[in-house]
Structure 1
Amino acid sequence: MEEKSVNKTNSNGYTFMFAIIMVVVVATVLAFTATSLQPTQRENVRQEKMQSILATIGIETDRAGAEELYDQYITEELSLREDGTEDEDIDAFQVDLAKELKKPAADQVFPLYIAEVDGEKFYIVPLRGNGLWNAIFGYIALRDDVNTIAGATFDHLGETPGLGAEITKEFFKERFTDEKIFDESGNLVGVSVVKGDIDPSDKDDNQVDAISGATITGDGVSDMISERLKRYLPYFKKEQEIKVAIQ
């Protein structure tokens, strides 16, 4: 009897059945864990988004304190259409730019966040574009003149460490502070990331110094800034009565 029991546990059928049971158990545990963590993960993403928006206007906070400061400094969340009008039926904070960019411009929603810090107004525009390997994204804040950059944040999904991934570093983001997005003729040109002898003190040249070895990522940053900001010109012209060319 003992020998038969040993043979039974060593049989292929027993091994196969044991493997199936273990797969089912592990899959069930993983599915339960993933499902139970979803609310926490969504909340973390929401708070990190608030952190990034606040960082463009110089408000630094940890994730836990993000919501309180966000409510304190962000005075409006607008969902804009291509003509600059507001769509009050859409929650700007919930707009997914990755999905919006797949639509024709006429069907897209353009989120805009308006902040006030020490009596000064800021317009914060979400950014999204293409880097070398995958999507790059971030936020850029404009001062009340709708021309001067107050701050910017950038992130990515798969740029090369030590090269394109450097767009997340402070030294790169700081290069955009006080840069202008309109040229001398009033055309919105954004800010170009270029190689060469760039004077960091010249804030009217619409240029910042590129990251060495990250040309394609830098071009992606340049393109997404100009492309996204141009979508907000109808709103800015209407709100600020600025005399600029839409090109």
Structure 2
Amino acid sequence: MSKKESPMRTILVAVILSLVCSIVVSVAAIKLKPLQETNKELDRKLNILIAAGLVDGQAHPTKAKIEEQFGLIEARVVDLSTGEYVEAPKGFEQRKAAKDPSMNVRIEDDIAGIRTRSKLANVYLVKKDGQLDTIILPFHGYGLWSTMYGFLALDTDTTTVVGLKYYDQAETAGLGGEIENPKWRSIWPGKEVLNEQGEPVIQIVKGEAKNEHQVDGLSGATLTSVGVENSLRYWLSNDAFGPYLAKVRAGEL
């Protein structure tokens, strides 16, 4: 066997090619990261706006339109134990904080199936003429196959739904995945998620809803529907956004 065909030469060429490819991929990842972060932030804003009914998600609004409409929204951070607004730590991200032992709490009555949650939470406030118009709350919980992340928009009474938008889930396409279907989302506005005592009463039911506290379930997706109900009941309870919503109702915030 000639030197050119030696196993060592083949290995050397393979190693060099691997190194070159690794460098190219690393450089590309570094170069693309700012763009990816920008797109991620734009997508977050779009989903908040859709939940609040400020843009039509099916109309594919431009970046300029999204930024213009998001200018109506004030982003705040709430301490869930007190319901008070607080200054967020630098670089705070609620989803990451939920996995950080120094920033999370373990959930005892874990109906949402998420085990832990961040001590702090984002809230988004739509202001019109200087007055609070809509409150948008992030929420999440486990469905059949995945943790489902969404935004719930409420009127200032903290009870009436303005809109709901899921943006990250891996439920079965055509079944549980229909939580992102605009047709299903369109039945949420006007529903009431809390009773007069501020307790969560929202229900996802089989068949047709019979009152303002009920929403039609997803056909063939019972466990996903249960997951939606449990997620909302947890995040609207006194273990999560309950103290904050109580302060809003009382006019203390």
Shorter-normalised TM-score: what interval?
0.7 to 0.9
Q: What does residue 144 of structure 2 align with?
A: 132
* 2:250 aligned partner, one-letter code: E
SS of residue in 2 equivalent to 1:114: strand
Q: Which has the higher helix share?
A: 1
Q: What does residue 37 of structure 1 align with?
A: 32
Give 1:12's match in structure 2, choosing from 7, 10, 28. 7
- 2:208 is the counterpart of 1:197: yes
CA distance change for structure 1 residues 179 and 193 in 2, over 3 Å: closer, same or farther? same
Q: Which runs of 5 or more structure 1 residues have no equivalent in the other structure?
A: 243-247
Distance 1:196 1:224 in 2: 20
Q: What does residue 241 of structure 1 align with?
A: 250
Query: What percentage of residue pairs aligned between the two structures are identical?
Result: 26
Give the TM-score taking structure 2 as reference length.
Answer: 0.81
Q: What does residue 77 of structure 2 align with?
A: 78
Distance 2:89 2:50 in 1: 24
Q: What does residue 154 of structure 1 align with?
A: 166
- 2:104 is the counterpart of 1:109: no
Q: What does residue 245 of structure 1 align with?
A: none
Q: Contact 1:190/1:222 (CA < 8 Å) preserved in 2?
A: no
* 1:87 aligned partner, one-letter code: V
Deviations 1:135-159 (A, max 9, x none): 1011011111111000010133321
CA distance change for structure 1 residues 210 and 239 in 2, over 3 Å: closer, same or farther? closer
Distance 1:172 1:98 in 2: 29
Q: How much does 1:89 deviate?
A: 4.0
Q: Contact 1:123/1:143 (CA < 8 Å) preserved in 2?
A: yes
Q: Contact 1:83/1:234 (CA < 8 Å) preserved in 2?
A: yes
Distance 2:220 2:232 in 1: 20
Deviations 1:109-155 (A, max 9, x none): 02211102476611110011112122101101111111100001013
Q: Contact 1:121/1:144 (CA < 8 Å) preserved in 2?
A: yes
Give the TM-score taking structure 1 as reference length.
Answer: 0.83
SS of residue in 2 equivalent to 1:175: coil
SS of residue in 1 equivalent to 2:49: helix
Q: Radius of gyration: which is bigger?
A: 1
Q: What does residue 228 of structure 2 align with?
A: 221
Please give the root-mean-square deviation of Cα atoms over the aligned residues, in Å. 2.5
Q: What does residue 87 of structure 1 align with?
A: 86
Q: Which runs of 5 or more structure 2 residues have no equivalent in the other structure?
A: 56-60, 108-116
